A and B are shown apart, each in its own frame.
Chain A
Amino acid sequence: MINGFTMTLKIPGDWYVNPKVLGEFYNTYKNHPIEQIRKVSFEQGLQYGLLLKEQAKVSGEGTEAISKVLETLLRDEPTAKIIQIDEGRVLLRNSGFCPLMTACLSMNLPWTWLCSSLGWPFFHGIASAVNLKVNLTMSKRREKGDPCCDHIFEIGEGKLLIN
C-alpha cells in the first residue's frame, strides 16, 4: 500500500519487452493520477533493484554500484548502454529502436504514457536500491522529440526530474 494506493501488479524485470505486462499495467492504472502510478512503479523498481543487487553481489552506494545494477538489469538489451560513469554521475543511454516503443506499437498501447508512468520511475527505483538519495534526470527524451533517451543518475535528494 503506497499512499492509500494498492499495488495489484507485480512488474517483472523484463517489463519493457513484455507487451502482456505493459497491457495489464495500462489497463490497471490508466485512470489513476500519474504521481500515484509513479510511486507504484518506483516501489516495484526498488524491490527488483534490491534483488538484482543481491544477485550481482553489488556492494557500496556509489556510481560504480549503480552502474553494475543497471548493467545486470539491461544485460540482454542491445539498445541501452551505460556510456559514462563519472564521480557521482551515471549516464544510461537508450538509442536505436526502443524496446518499449516496439512492444507498445505491437499492442497499440500509449508509449509515452508508459515511459513516463512506468519506465522512468522503475529505473529510478532500481538505482535507489543502491542509494536512496539517487536523482534520476531525464535530460533527453524521445517523447519530446530527442533522438535518444538519456537517464542521468546522480547522488542528490532521491528525486525523479523530468526536464
Chain B
Amino acid sequence: MVKEKFQKKSYPEWVPDLVTIIGSEENLPEQLDYQRLLKKRSGKFGIPYHENTETLSFAEGTVNYFFSKEFSGDVDTVVIALGTKKLVNKSTSSSHTAMNMESFLENLKALLPEPNYENTIKLIQTNILEETEDPLPELMEDSTPIENAGVLKNSIIACAPTVNNRRKYILFHPEERDAANKVWKILSDISEISYHTWEIDHLYSNRHLMFEQIDASEKNTQYRINEILAEMRKPVDEMQPSDLEEVLREITIQFSRLSTMASSMRRDLVKTRSLRSRLREILDEWGEKPYREYRTNSSALLNRMDRAMAPFTDFIERVEALMTQLNTVLDSVRTYLSIKQQKINITQQEASKNQLVRLVNLQEILHKLEILIVAVYITEIFKTVIESLTHEKTHLYTALFIPIALVASLLISRTLHKTENSH
C-alpha cells in the first residue's frame, strides 16, 4: 500500500550535481509563483508545459534542470536537480556555474512553502573507495560532521546529522556506464525514505505528549482501581446498590476509554510498522555495506524507526494491563453482587420456610377442627335418633356416644384425605 504511493518516473539521462528534496504539507500546486516560474522557463525553452506536469526537464546555458513532484498526499515532495553539462571546452568557469546553480536553487526554494523536511544531496563523481585516507570529513561543507556512511555497490553515501528537519548528504559515484540510472535510483530512494521517515516522525510527534502522559495517567487510574478494590472488601451489607451502580458506571467509562486508546494507538503502530517495512524493503535493495568506521545509513535509520515505534508498543501494553485490572474489578463487582444476591435468596428462602411451617400448622388445626365439627354433627344426629326412641337417659347415651363419634369422625377424615392425596 505504501509502495504504490511512489510511482516510477522518467528521470533525465544526465547525472545531477546538486539535488534538493523538499517535502511540504502545504499543497504545492497552489503555489502560483512556483508554477509560474516553471511555466516561464518551459516557455523560454520551447518545452510544452501543463499545470499538472509532474516532471519537467530542460537546459539553460551550461546547466541542466529537472523538477519532479514525487507524491501528492499528506506531503508533496518536490525534487529539484541541477547538473552542469559536460562541455568539450571546459574553460567555462565551473565555480561560476556552481554559484549560479546554488543561487537559482535558493531563489526557487524561497518561492516554495516552508518545508516539513529538506534534504540536500551533493553528488561528486569520483571513486573514493580507492583512496587510502578518509576523504569524507574534508568534503562535507562547514565542518559538518559525518553521521553515517555506507557503500552501495560502487557508490558511497554519507550524511550529516539532521538539523531542524534538514539533512545533508554526499553521494560519491564512479564514472561508469548507466551511471545516470543508478544515481537517479538512489535519489528516488532517498526521496521515498525521507517521506516515510517524516511520516513516522510525524506520527510519533503527534503522540509525543500522550506518551509523556502515560506515567501520570496510569498512576491515577491505578489509584482509583485500588480504591474501588478496597471498597469491594467492605462487608456486603455496607454497600448500597446505588454505590455499586456508581462503581459500575465508572468502570464502564474507564474501560471504554482505555479500549479506545489502545485501539487508536494500535492503529498508529500498524501504520508505523507498515512504513518501517517499506523502508526495510528499500534498504534491503540497497544492500549497504559499512564504509570505514562509520555506521551505515541503513542501520542508523532502522534503529531510529525502532526507537520511534517503541513508545507505541509500550503505551498499548500499559493500557492493556490497566484493562486487565479493570476486568478484575468488574469480576469483583460481579462476585460482590452474586454474594449479595445469594444472601437475599437465603433470607427469602428462610422467610418462605417459616411461612410454610405456619401454613402447615394452620392446616393441622383446621384438620382437628374438621374432626371436631364432624364429631359434633354425628353426635347431634345420634342425639336426635336417641330422643326419638327414648326420652330417658338421652344425655347419658349422647355423652357415652361422644368418643365413638370422635373415632368415626377421625376415620371419615382420614378416608377423605387419603382419597384427596391419591388424586
Interface residues of A (CB under 8 A from B): 76-79, 95-99, 101-103, 105-106, 108, 111-112, 142-143, 145, 147-148
Subset of 10 A-B contacts with CB under 8 Å? A76-B253, A78-B224, A79-B220, A96-B224, A96-B254, A105-B210, A142-B209, A147-B213, A147-B215, A148-B220
Given known pairs A78-B224, A101-B210, A112-B209, the reply for A95 and B216 (CB within 8 Å) is yes
In the complex, besides A105-B261, A142-B209, A142-B216, 8 extra interface pairs with C-beta distance below 8 angstroms are A76-B253, A78-B254, A95-B220, A101-B213, A102-B260, A106-B263, A108-B206, A111-B209
CB-CB < 8 A to A79: which residues of B?
220
The one of B209, B215, B250 in contact with A143, judged by C-beta atoms closer than 8 angstroms, is B209
A96 touches B220 (CB 8 A): yes
Looking across the interface, which residue of chain B has its beta carbon closest to that of A147?
B216
How many of chain B's residues touch chain A, expressed as a range?
20 to 34
Considering only residues 42-90 of chain B, those with a C-beta below 8 Å from chain A are none
CB-CB < 8 A to A143: which residues of B?
209
B209 touches A97 (CB 8 A): no
CB-CB < 8 A to B213: which residues of A?
98, 101, 142, 147
- Shortest distance between the CB of A95 and any CB in chain B (Å): 4
The one of B212, B249, B250, B258 in contact with A97, judged by C-beta atoms closer than 8 angstroms, is B258
A105 touches B265 (CB 8 A): yes
B264 sits at the interface (CB 8 A)? yes
Interface residues of B (CB under 8 A from A): 206-207, 209-210, 212-213, 215-217, 219-221, 224, 249-250, 253-254, 257-258, 260-261, 263-265
CA distance A79 to B249 in the complex (A): 13
Given known pairs A78-B254, A102-B257, A112-B209, the reply for A96 and B264 (CB within 8 Å) is no
B217 touches A96 (CB 8 A): yes
CB-CB < 8 A to B258: which residues of A?
97
B253 touches A97 (CB 8 A): no
- Shortest distance between the CB of A137 and any CB in chain B (Å): 20
CA distance A102 to B265 in the complex (A): 10
The one of A99, A106, A112 in contact with B264, judged by C-beta atoms closer than 8 angstroms, is A106
Looking across the interface, which residue of chain A has its beta carbon closest to that of B250?
A78
